[in-house]
Amino acid sequence: MDPAVACYLAGMIINPVIASMKKRRAWVWFLVSFLTGPFALIFTFVLIVLPRVIPMAVGSLIQSLGGRGEKIFKENLVDEMEKTIVKLKGSFGEGLIITDKRFYVLKWGFMAGNTFGGRCNVFEFASITGVEIKKNWLTGTFEVLTPATQNSQKSYWGNGASSAIKSDNIVTFQQNKFNYFQGAVNLGRELISKFHRPSNPILKGDYSELEKLAELKEKGIINQNEFEAKKKLILGLS
Protein backbone atom coordinates (compact mmCIF):
# COMPACT_ATOMS: atom_id res chain seq x y z
CA MET A 1 0.00 0.00 0.00
CA ASP A 2 1.17 3.49 -0.78
CA PRO A 3 2.63 5.09 2.40
CA ALA A 4 0.67 8.29 1.79
CA VAL A 5 -2.58 6.34 1.61
CA ALA A 6 -1.67 4.45 4.78
CA CYS A 7 -1.06 7.72 6.67
CA TYR A 8 -4.34 9.13 5.40
CA LEU A 9 -6.28 6.05 6.57
CA ALA A 10 -4.53 6.10 9.96
CA GLY A 11 -5.49 9.75 10.41
CA MET A 12 -9.09 8.98 9.57
CA ILE A 13 -9.16 6.41 12.39
CA ILE A 14 -7.04 8.14 15.06
CA ASN A 15 -8.47 11.69 14.88
CA PRO A 16 -12.03 10.75 15.88
CA VAL A 17 -10.65 8.65 18.76
CA ILE A 18 -8.59 11.59 20.07
CA ALA A 19 -11.54 13.96 19.72
CA SER A 20 -13.72 11.51 21.63
CA MET A 21 -11.12 11.22 24.42
CA LYS A 22 -10.97 14.99 24.74
CA LYS A 23 -14.74 15.20 25.05
CA ARG A 24 -14.76 12.40 27.61
CA ARG A 25 -11.99 14.10 29.58
CA ALA A 26 -14.04 17.30 29.70
CA TRP A 27 -17.04 15.39 31.02
CA VAL A 28 -14.86 13.60 33.55
CA TRP A 29 -13.52 16.90 34.88
CA PHE A 30 -17.04 18.30 35.04
CA LEU A 31 -18.26 15.29 37.05
CA VAL A 32 -15.26 15.44 39.37
CA SER A 33 -15.82 19.14 40.05
CA PHE A 34 -19.55 18.61 40.56
CA LEU A 35 -19.02 15.77 43.04
CA THR A 36 -16.09 17.26 44.99
CA GLY A 37 -17.53 20.77 45.25
CA PRO A 38 -19.81 19.96 48.23
CA PHE A 39 -16.94 18.13 49.95
CA ALA A 40 -14.75 21.21 49.56
CA LEU A 41 -17.49 23.32 51.16
CA ILE A 42 -17.82 20.83 54.04
CA PHE A 43 -14.04 20.74 54.48
CA THR A 44 -13.92 24.55 54.67
CA PHE A 45 -16.83 24.64 57.13
CA VAL A 46 -15.23 22.08 59.46
CA LEU A 47 -11.77 23.67 59.50
CA ILE A 48 -12.66 27.37 59.49
CA VAL A 49 -16.25 27.96 60.57
CA LEU A 50 -16.74 25.36 63.32
CA PRO A 51 -13.76 26.44 65.46
CA ARG A 52 -15.41 29.84 65.79
CA VAL A 53 -18.98 28.62 66.23
CA ILE A 54 -18.43 25.80 68.76
CA PRO A 55 -17.08 28.04 71.55
CA MET A 56 -20.26 30.14 71.23
CA ALA A 57 -22.53 27.12 71.45
CA VAL A 58 -20.84 25.11 74.18
CA GLY A 59 -17.87 26.43 76.02
CA SER A 60 -17.19 25.37 79.57
CA LEU A 61 -14.92 27.92 81.24
CA ILE A 62 -13.20 25.18 83.25
CA GLN A 63 -10.78 23.24 81.04
CA SER A 64 -7.67 21.15 81.53
CA LEU A 65 -4.31 22.91 81.58
CA GLY A 66 -2.44 19.71 80.79
CA GLY A 67 -0.12 17.85 83.12
CA ARG A 68 2.45 20.59 83.58
CA GLY A 69 -0.04 23.42 83.98
CA GLU A 70 -2.22 21.51 86.43
CA LYS A 71 0.85 20.68 88.54
CA ILE A 72 1.94 24.33 88.73
CA PHE A 73 -1.56 25.42 89.73
CA LYS A 74 -1.83 22.76 92.41
CA GLU A 75 1.56 23.73 93.88
CA ASN A 76 0.65 27.43 94.03
CA LEU A 77 -2.99 27.26 95.13
CA VAL A 78 -3.25 29.70 98.06
CA ASP A 79 -6.37 28.30 99.72
CA GLU A 80 -7.69 24.77 99.16
CA MET A 81 -11.18 26.05 99.95
CA GLU A 82 -11.16 28.40 96.94
CA LYS A 83 -13.80 27.78 94.30
CA THR A 84 -12.41 27.66 90.75
CA ILE A 85 -14.69 29.62 88.41
CA VAL A 86 -12.49 29.92 85.31
CA LYS A 87 -9.60 27.73 84.15
CA LEU A 88 -8.40 28.25 80.56
CA LYS A 89 -5.25 27.28 78.69
CA GLY A 90 -3.55 29.91 76.53
CA SER A 91 -1.48 29.62 73.36
CA PHE A 92 2.07 28.82 74.46
CA GLY A 93 2.35 27.25 77.90
CA GLU A 94 0.00 29.72 79.58
CA GLY A 95 -2.94 29.36 81.92
CA LEU A 96 -5.60 31.61 83.43
CA ILE A 97 -7.41 30.68 86.63
CA ILE A 98 -10.04 32.81 88.35
CA THR A 99 -11.35 31.71 91.73
CA ASP A 100 -13.82 33.34 94.08
CA LYS A 101 -10.86 34.99 95.86
CA ARG A 102 -8.10 35.82 93.34
CA PHE A 103 -6.61 35.52 89.81
CA TYR A 104 -3.76 33.19 88.81
CA VAL A 105 -1.60 33.59 85.67
CA LEU A 106 0.58 30.56 84.91
CA LYS A 107 3.57 30.34 82.56
CA TRP A 108 5.57 27.32 81.48
CA GLY A 109 7.54 26.14 78.47
CA PHE A 110 10.19 27.68 76.20
CA MET A 111 7.95 30.25 74.52
CA ALA A 112 6.74 31.57 77.90
CA GLY A 113 10.31 31.86 79.22
CA ASN A 114 10.40 28.69 81.32
CA THR A 115 12.05 25.81 79.49
CA PHE A 116 12.14 23.88 82.75
CA GLY A 117 9.61 24.26 85.53
CA GLY A 118 7.21 27.18 85.46
CA ARG A 119 5.95 30.18 87.38
CA CYS A 120 2.66 31.30 88.89
CA ASN A 121 1.63 34.90 89.48
CA VAL A 122 -1.18 35.56 91.97
CA PHE A 123 -3.34 38.69 91.86
CA GLU A 124 -5.57 39.49 94.80
CA PHE A 125 -8.88 41.21 94.05
CA ALA A 126 -7.79 44.18 96.16
CA SER A 127 -4.79 44.88 93.88
CA ILE A 128 -6.66 44.48 90.56
CA THR A 129 -7.90 47.68 88.91
CA GLY A 130 -9.49 45.86 85.98
CA VAL A 131 -9.20 43.21 83.27
CA GLU A 132 -8.84 43.84 79.56
CA ILE A 133 -9.27 41.72 76.44
CA LYS A 134 -7.83 42.52 73.01
CA LYS A 135 -8.79 40.60 69.87
CA ASN A 136 -7.19 40.59 66.45
CA TRP A 137 -8.20 38.45 63.49
CA LEU A 138 -6.44 35.29 64.67
CA THR A 139 -5.04 36.09 68.12
CA GLY A 140 -5.94 37.82 71.36
CA THR A 141 -4.72 38.73 74.84
CA PHE A 142 -6.27 38.67 78.32
CA GLU A 143 -4.63 41.17 80.65
CA VAL A 144 -4.91 41.60 84.43
CA LEU A 145 -4.53 45.31 85.19
CA THR A 146 -2.86 46.53 88.39
CA PRO A 147 -1.33 49.93 89.30
CA ALA A 148 2.08 48.52 88.34
CA THR A 149 1.06 47.00 84.97
CA GLN A 150 -1.84 49.01 83.55
CA ASN A 151 0.36 51.37 81.51
CA SER A 152 2.61 48.68 80.01
CA GLN A 153 2.34 47.94 76.29
CA LYS A 154 2.59 44.28 75.26
CA SER A 155 2.17 42.53 71.93
CA TYR A 156 1.27 38.94 71.01
CA TRP A 157 4.31 38.72 68.72
CA GLY A 158 6.50 41.13 70.71
CA ASN A 159 10.05 40.37 71.86
CA GLY A 160 11.72 40.78 75.23
CA ALA A 161 9.95 43.24 77.53
CA SER A 162 7.17 43.81 74.96
CA SER A 163 6.26 40.10 74.70
CA ALA A 164 2.73 39.35 75.88
CA ILE A 165 3.51 35.61 75.91
CA LYS A 166 6.25 36.12 78.52
CA SER A 167 4.38 38.77 80.51
CA ASP A 168 3.40 37.82 84.06
CA ASN A 169 -0.05 39.45 83.88
CA ILE A 170 -1.15 38.45 80.36
CA VAL A 171 -2.44 35.23 78.82
CA THR A 172 -2.47 34.96 75.03
CA PHE A 173 -4.97 32.89 73.05
CA GLN A 174 -6.01 32.08 69.48
CA GLN A 175 -9.25 32.76 67.61
CA ASN A 176 -10.90 29.44 68.50
CA LYS A 177 -10.95 30.56 72.16
CA PHE A 178 -12.20 34.12 71.68
CA ASN A 179 -15.55 33.42 73.31
CA TYR A 180 -14.07 31.48 76.22
CA PHE A 181 -11.81 34.39 77.21
CA GLN A 182 -14.59 36.91 76.65
CA GLY A 183 -16.64 34.95 79.16
CA ALA A 184 -13.68 35.01 81.56
CA VAL A 185 -13.46 38.81 81.23
CA ASN A 186 -17.15 39.22 82.00
CA LEU A 187 -16.97 37.02 85.10
CA GLY A 188 -13.69 38.58 86.25
CA ARG A 189 -15.09 42.11 86.03
CA GLU A 190 -18.18 41.07 87.94
CA LEU A 191 -16.11 39.53 90.76
CA ILE A 192 -13.80 42.55 91.04
CA SER A 193 -16.72 44.97 91.05
CA LYS A 194 -18.48 42.96 93.73
CA PHE A 195 -15.33 42.85 95.87
CA HIS A 196 -14.78 46.63 95.74
CA ARG A 197 -18.44 47.39 96.38
CA PRO A 198 -19.11 47.88 100.14
CA SER A 199 -21.72 45.42 101.38
CA ASN A 200 -23.19 47.85 103.91
CA PRO A 201 -21.25 51.12 104.31
CA ILE A 202 -23.72 52.62 106.79
CA LEU A 203 -23.48 49.64 109.12
CA LYS A 204 -19.67 49.72 109.03
CA GLY A 205 -19.47 53.43 109.69
CA ASP A 206 -21.97 53.48 112.56
CA TYR A 207 -21.37 50.11 114.18
CA SER A 208 -20.11 51.79 117.37
CA GLU A 209 -23.28 53.88 117.60
CA LEU A 210 -25.40 50.73 117.37
CA GLU A 211 -23.40 49.18 120.19
CA LYS A 212 -24.00 52.24 122.38
CA LEU A 213 -27.68 52.18 121.50
CA ALA A 214 -27.92 48.51 122.51
CA GLU A 215 -26.26 49.30 125.86
CA LEU A 216 -28.82 52.05 126.56
CA LYS A 217 -31.64 49.62 125.86
CA GLU A 218 -30.13 46.93 128.12
CA LYS A 219 -29.77 49.48 130.94
CA GLY A 220 -33.41 50.48 130.54
CA ILE A 221 -32.63 54.04 129.56
CA ILE A 222 -34.60 53.60 126.33
CA ASN A 223 -37.39 51.16 125.55
CA GLN A 224 -37.73 48.73 122.63
CA ASN A 225 -39.70 51.13 120.44
CA GLU A 226 -37.17 53.91 120.94
CA PHE A 227 -34.34 51.47 120.18
CA GLU A 228 -35.95 50.35 116.90
CA ALA A 229 -36.62 53.93 115.85
CA LYS A 230 -33.04 55.04 116.56
CA LYS A 231 -31.61 51.94 114.82
CA LYS A 232 -33.57 52.66 111.64
CA LEU A 233 -32.36 56.25 111.75
CA ILE A 234 -28.69 55.17 112.04
CA LEU A 235 -29.05 52.61 109.24
CA GLY A 236 -30.87 55.07 107.04
CA LEU A 237 -33.98 52.88 106.89
CA SER A 238 -36.45 55.45 108.12
- pLDDT band for position 55 (cuts 50, 70, 90): very low
The answer on 160 and 130 residing in a single domain is: yes
Q: Quote the number of domains for the chain.
A: 3
The answer on 191 and 111 residing in a single domain is: yes
Say if residue 158's pLDDT is above 80.
Answer: no
pLDDT at 216: 81
The answer on 82 and 191 residing in a single domain is: yes
Nearest residue to 237 (alpha-carbon basis) of 212, 209, 202:
202
> Range of 9's domain?
1-58
The answer on 127 and 183 residing in a single domain is: yes
Say if residue 95's pLDDT is above 70.
Answer: yes
pLDDT at 137: 85
pLDDT at 228: 78
Q: What percent of the chain has pLDDT over 70?
A: 67
Q: How many CA atoms lie within 13 A of 217 on its CB side?
A: 15
Measured CA distances, 154 to 111, 120, 141, 228 (Å): 15, 19, 9, 57
pLDDT at 27: 54
